[in-house]
Homo-oligomer: A and B are copies of this chain.
Amino acid sequence: MTRDKTATRYHHGNLRPTLLAMARALIEEGGPAALSMREIGRRAGVSAPAAYHYFNSLDAIAASLAEQGFAELSETIDAALDGPRRHLLAGGIAYVAFARANPGLYRLMFGESFQAYSKGNEAIRASRARIYRQMKDDLEKRLTPEDVPIAALFLWSLTHGLALLMIDGQVEPDADLDTKIEDILKFAGMRLPAAR
């Protein structure tokens, strides 16, 4: 009952969240491909099979991380929309900021295995729907109804693409990246000479 926090105890006591935390650190260090049952165990100070008391497989851990990521992203956007800024701009800035703060997680969430996760995971589907809904709600205040679907996909493409380019270091960080993000999102709301 009186826990010696430094001693390594046979029963970890808090293993499930610890495993997830270690897995998350791993993807941030080495990308989604660096996820490994054995390495997760190693970092948690536990043998690899111990994890099987909490997850059926490595894929289950990855799916759990993705779920976590979508929940956090959704919350982050919620919080931004409560702020003083205009909605779409604040949401977009928050979106890109999340990706930049959690590049490994973001890549896991939207990477190749994405479809596999969201297929069977109700929580992920719900978070995604919530994010999309927030965006559409705002767009509906500004546009005629028939423009909304296209505008939503437009905005999602823009923020997703910008987030990935920055994560991948393909935007030369000449100026402050934060102001660059803002500039681009603002530019999206301005007139480009009509493309046809």
- Tell me the complex Cα distance, A156–B151, Å: 17
- Is B161 a contact of A184 with CB atoms below 8 Å? no
- Is A186 a contact of B193 with CB atoms below 8 Å? no
A160 cross-chain contacts in B, Cβ below 8 A:
161, 164-165
- Tell me the complex Cα distance, A170–B192, Å: 27
Chain A interface main SS type:
helix
A92 and chain B: residue at smallest CB distance: B195
| A residues contacting the other copy or chain, number (CB 8 A) | 48
- Tell me the complex Cα distance, A44–B180, Å: 47
Q: Is A121 an interface residue (CB 8 A)?
A: no
Q: Is A17 an interface residue (CB 8 A)?
A: no
A169 and chain B: residue at smallest CB distance: B115
Interface residues of A in 123-160 (CB under 8 A from B): 142-143, 147, 150-151, 153-154, 156-160
- Is B191 a contact of A191 with CB atoms below 8 Å? yes
A154 cross-chain contacts in B, Cβ below 8 A:
158, 184, 187-188
Copies of this chain in its oligomeric complex? 2
- Tell me the complex Cα distance, A31–B143, Å: 38
Q: Is A7 an interface residue (CB 8 A)?
A: no
A115 cross-chain contacts in B, Cβ below 8 A:
168-169
Q: Is A88 an interface residue (CB 8 A)?
A: yes
- Is B158 a contact of A158 with CB atoms below 8 Å? yes
Q: A157-B184, A160-B161, A193-B189 are in contact. Are A168 and B86 (CB under 8 A)?
A: no
A169 cross-chain contacts in B, Cβ below 8 A:
115
- Tell me the complex Cα distance, A180–B156, Å: 14
A85 cross-chain contacts in B, Cβ below 8 A:
196
- Is B192 a contact of A185 with CB atoms below 8 Å? no
- Tell me the complex Cα distance, A160–B158, Å: 8
Q: Is A54 an interface residue (CB 8 A)?
A: no
